[in-house]
Structure 1
Amino acid sequence: MTSEKDVVTEERRNSTIVQARDVDVAAMVMDDNFENDLTPEISEKLRRKIDLHMMPLMCFSFVLMIADQVVVAQSAILGIFEGASLTQNQFNWLATVLYITIMVFEYPQNLALQRYPVAKWMSVNIFIWSIALLAHAACKSFGALVACRIVMGMCESVILPGFMIVTSMFYTRSEHTHRVGLWYMAGMCGSSFLGFIAAALLYVPESSPLMPWQWMMIIMGVVTFLFAIVFVVFFPDSPTTARFLTKEERVWAVQRIRVNQTGVENKRWKKEQSMETIWDLKVWIMAGFGFVSHVPISMSFQKQIIVSQLGFSPLSTTLLSCADGAITIIGILIGLWIASRPYIGRGYATVITSVPPFLGAVLINVLPPNNKIVSLFMYWLSYWVMVPYTIFLGWIGSLVAGHTKRITTNTIVLISAYLGTAVGPFMWRKEYQPRNRIPWLIIALCVIVGALMLLALRIMLYFENKRRDNQPRDTSYDEMYMKKEEEDGTIIKQRVDKAFLDLTDKQNKDFRYLL
């Protein structure tokens, strides 16, 4: 967004000159005569190359993030209660402390992502969190574990917003949901992966100098540290500087996402975009959904306790927990397929995929408890609460434009989500066990309220698109230029496409909300 204070204007053949710092970085690599060279075949080949390089790194990052977040949950039957002298309430707090810390550091981390190179800043955080995870193994008290969880929360708060920004940099809006779905789905594999490790650690002999839960922390800490080295070497900061792309491919990568009308990034924080975000109703509807969708997700921290109280042995409980990730992956795949249907789209897909977890939470509460297999399946069905959120996560980037506005929107939504995750564990009280009727009732209510919120959002955006379609086209930003220095020192005036002016979705009347 431009303002009188920050933009130098001059009337020259009805054009406006803007300062380079106010436009998107993509404008620096664009060539007015280059765009015609981007054919559908080249675009598809480039997308496959980006997928091949980036998706494995993003997916494995999310595997580690989810695994490291629930590593304490898996430790519930590996001796952490005895080893660190924990009560049930203190155990619940270990989850809450992590998510409160993530929530508190979400905005500073988003500001850092805008100011510093994205990949390098994320790498620093992954290194630090791996050290914090290793330090868990040395903890002998609740206080020591809390300190480690705080450091982990500080660092992990960068991953989700970082990947949301990177996804919007490299992919078109129509590709967002599937890419977000892929790396979020990979995260569910982290839960299953951890379950197998926990099952193996049940056989650690009592003569071992370390308890099974301590071995779990060491194994995951070492894996995370090694991955941090890989990440810093291979993960790109943006398509304009990606080393795995040729100079020509970088221009094509920028040209490919031109249809988004959101640009790549702008390193300057803009107060006016931040204020627009705060007064944007749709942002607060998304924030409300973030909160109510994450209160039920607290069950992931309680899953070992929930399943064991259905009547399964420790070994069976650990092995069955491996299925949680597989069940969620199936749900996400179905959800992504539904969302990709043109006649359904993202909004309606989130509503449709809210039905299974709602039914699971209701039925586990009303069916007789003597059939533990049926109860287990209802628990797995309720675990699909993550499916609508995964679709929603890929939808957010298609609903806002302007780099500062995107950063601020991500911050508000993610803070709301982590607030829900922070308060969620407190509904799993000792007096509600083993049926947990109150928690399941709260989960059912959260799911239905979240579905209604996104339905309202979808309807609101539909009418806004219709309103824009019926208005005359806005030509205010059609003739925008910036001064650019050529290699020989010549100063030229280069046209800046509206898509790369770092305009917000409200300023750019050509922007249409993806439904």
Structure 2
Amino acid sequence: MEVTKKEPVVDSVDEKDVQVGVITDLDEGEVFLRQHGFTDEDVQGLLDDEARNKAVVRKVDLILLPLLAGTYMLQYIDKSALAYSAVFDLLKSTHMSSNEYSWLASIFYIAYLVAEYPWNVLAQKTNLAKVVSCNIVAWGAMLMITASCSSFTGMAICRFLLGVFEAPITPCFMMIIGMWYTRSQQPFRAGVFYSCNGVGAMVGGVLTFGIGQIKTIAVWRAIYLILGGITVCWGIVMLFFLPGDVLSAKRFNLEDKALLIGRGRLGRTGIINHQIKWNQIREALVDPQVWILFFFTLFNEVVNGGIANFSKLIIKGLTHDSLTTVALGIPFGAFQVVWVLSGTYFASRFANYRTIVMFAYLIPTIIGIALMWKLDHATHKVGVLFSYYIVGAYVCSLVLALQMPATNLGGYTKRSTGVAFVFLAYCAGNIIGPHAFLAKEAPIYQTGCKVLLACSSAQAALTVCLRWLLARRNKQRDAAAAAANESGAPLEVDESADLTDFENPNFRYVL
């Protein structure tokens, strides 16, 4: 069905909803539809046009996913610059101890913790794409500055600022995915860009292996200079090509935007609202779903913080050669791509399988950690290496958990608050994780393995709790709707309003 372009009909919007351009009760997607004269029938006609839907989704994929994936690949490589540098001559050049190295890993996430929510608020109130792009340029510049450091103090300052500038990336990306795609499409799309952590591990390993051949300057300084320069250039690309939101995207016509807004209606989560609503913030903080996801992510990132910062040193304990250590770490990235893409595909392909996939993909992690702990590192080197490769399955569970607030929370402020709150746990876990690995226990790190095993087991239990909670809520709402229909007074709600999942009785949770 072809819908002709409408003339603006600003008067059709109630004055209490739009006053001097400030949105109060309505989602801004709904305001856009009314201002441009799109009726519910027009939007439904667009939604019924299967060919047009496929074309628009393909266009969104081609515009968004390369930008998100490229950024995520660079973000992983840049965060790993510290681990790559430690394999070479960083510790010796900067006179750092192993304990100070552990603190460098934590300082990054302390900064992330401090800066993440303010960036999130700024992104909601202004232009999300510009916030993301300018921060990419800034973190690339900070990497290049790091190459000039000669002490722990200088490294710590640069590492803190790097954390500040990287803080908005993942939360904003999760909000972008929630804005542009339907709930069934979100897990795999999030998986596509998050799997680029694995691509980053492979590309970073190859790139670092090549940089390791440099003889003119210290290898660790070359790593920071080259990676920083690449990131600055990429940030400039993002500044020009990443769309701010559905409503302002220049490469989509009015009908495409109306269709995208209509697709956003299907999940009852809304498109965007620039006004901060304090009642929605309070609701997010008392929602048990948010707290379960908080602790799930906290435990997940304790695992990640340990693996990300000490895995290269565990491998080095098997080979004692820096370049071989880098090379042996490359397959870990390939395994991670497989874990993330396969898990998020299953979660998107089969309805209400997300928590099942989250549980299932923790099992290889639990097995891998147990093997790394118990296998003899001198006589079973291949076994230890393979166990390290399968540990990365936990990343798929993380991707699905991070996407849950954007998928299962209604109301734009509640969604963004839920995403931000879960990312506080993301930061806290990464701060804690490295300190479970004691220098005196190298290269096995028995205490670290025990902590990681406990955390991954706790995650599995939380996944069961989350599925039970969401299934119970859906069952209660179905029962209430059935009772209302039998009484002849069906539940009615203004779907165009910026309502939370608690306020909208028609909202159903994805399990």
Do both proteins adopt the same fold according to a TM-score greater than 0.5, normalized to the shorter chain? yes
Please tell me the residue identity of whatever aligns with 1:435: I
Q: Which runs of 5+ in 2 are unaligned?
A: 1-13, 485-489
2:402–2:422 CA contact under 8 A, matched in 1: no
2:297–2:401 CA contact under 8 A, matched in 1: no
Corresponding residue to 1:132 among 124, 132, 142: 142
Partners in 2 of 1:376 and 1:144 — Cα distance? 34
Q: Give the aligned partner of residue 504 of structure 1.
A: 500
Deviation at 1:258, TM superposition (A): 1.3
Q: Deviations over 1:303-354 (max 9, x none)?
A: 2101011235222111011122111111112312432453661011100111
Partners in 2 of 1:272 and 1:190 — Cα distance? 40
Partners in 1 of 2:352 and 2:59 — Cα distance? 29
Partners in 2 of 1:319 and 1:133 — Cα distance? 23
1:174 aligns with 2:190: no
1:129–1:152 CA contact under 8 A, matched in 2: yes
Partners in 2 of 1:346 and 1:90 — Cα distance? 39
Q: Deviations over 1:58-111 (max 9, x none)?
A: 000111111111111011122111221111111111110001110111111111
Please tell me the residue identity of whatever aligns with 2:207: I
Partners in 2 of 1:178 and 1:394 — Cα distance? 10
1:180–1:393 CA contact under 8 A, matched in 2: no
Q: Give the aligned partner of residue 359 of structure 2.
A: 351
Please tell me the residue identity of whatever aligns with 1:431: K
Deviation at 1:448, TM superposition (A): 1.0
1:104 aligns with 2:114: yes
Partners in 2 of 1:348 and 1:16 — Cα distance? 46
Map of 1:244-259 to 2, 5 A cutoff?
A: 244-259=251-266
Q: Give the aligned partner of residue 29 of structure 2.
A: 26
Deviation at 1:280, TM superposition (A): 0.9
Q: Give the aligned partner of residue 416 of structure 1.
A: 425
Q: TM-score, normalised to structure 1's length?
A: 0.90
Q: Deviations over 1:430-455 (max 9, x none)?
A: 11212211111111111110111011
Partners in 1 of 2:346 and 2:233 — Cα distance? 37
2:202–2:334 CA contact under 8 A, matched in 1: yes
Partners in 2 of 1:225 and 1:340 — Cα distance? 34
1:85 aligns with 2:95: yes
Please tell me the residue identity of whatever aligns with 1:256: R
Q: 1:280 to 1:241 in 2, by over 3 A?
A: same
Q: Give the aligned partner of residue 45 of structure 1.
A: 55
1:338–1:344 CA contact under 8 A, matched in 2: no
Map of 1:141-156 to 2, 5 A cutoff?
A: 141-156=151-166
Corresponding residue to 1:192 among 202, 207, 215: 202
Q: Deviations over 1:337-387 (max 9, x none)?
A: 432453661011100111000011112222233110111111111222212
Corresponding residue to 1:391 among 387, 400, 403: 400
Map of 1:73-472 to 2, 5 A cutoff?
A: 73-205=83-215, 208=216, 210-298=217-305, 299-342=307-350, 345-369=353-377, 370-472=379-481
Corresponding residue to 2:509 among 495, 510, 513: 513
Q: Which runs of 5+ in 1 are unaligned?
A: 1-14, 479-497
Q: 1:112 to 1:44 in 2, by over 3 A?
A: same
Q: 1:16 to 1:261 in 2, by over 3 A?
A: farther
Q: Deviations over 1:247-292 (max 9, x none)?
A: 2211111112210101111111011101111111111111000100
1:110–1:411 CA contact under 8 A, matched in 2: yes
Q: Give the aligned partner of residue 487 of structure 2.
A: none
Q: Deviations over 1:403-424 (max 9, x none)?
A: 1111111111100111000111
* SS of equivalent to 2:248: coil
Please tell me the residue identity of whatever aligns with 1:106: E
Partners in 2 of 1:431 and 1:323 — Cα distance? 28
Q: 1:471 to 1:380 in 2, by over 3 A?
A: same
1:346–1:395 CA contact under 8 A, matched in 2: no
* SS of equivalent to 2:392: helix
2:339–2:392 CA contact under 8 A, matched in 1: no
Q: Give the aligned partner of residue 3 of structure 2.
A: none
* SS of equivalent to 2:195: helix
Partners in 2 of 1:35 and 1:357 — Cα distance? 45
Partners in 2 of 1:451 and 1:81 — Cα distance? 37
Please tell me the residue identity of whatever aligns with 1:140: S
Deviation at 1:114, TM superposition (A): 1.0
Please tell me the residue identity of whatever aligns with 2:170: L
1:78–1:198 CA contact under 8 A, matched in 2: no
**CA RMSD of superposed structures (Å):** 1.6
* SS of equivalent to 1:260: coil
Partners in 2 of 1:340 and 1:37 — Cα distance? 25
2:199–2:333 CA contact under 8 A, matched in 1: yes
Partners in 2 of 1:368 and 1:188 — Cα distance? 27
Q: TM-score, normalised to structure 2's length?
A: 0.91
Q: Give the aligned partner of residue 43 of structure 2.
A: 35
Q: 1:328 to 1:312 in 2, by over 3 A?
A: farther
Deviation at 1:21, TM superposition (A): 2.7
Q: Give the aligned partner of residue 75 of structure 2.
A: 65
| Bigger relative CO (Cα 8 Å, ≥ 6 apart) | 1
Please tell me the residue identity of whatever aligns with 2:227: M
1:60–1:187 CA contact under 8 A, matched in 2: no
Q: Give the aligned partner of residue 491 of structure 1.
A: none
1:239–1:250 CA contact under 8 A, matched in 2: yes
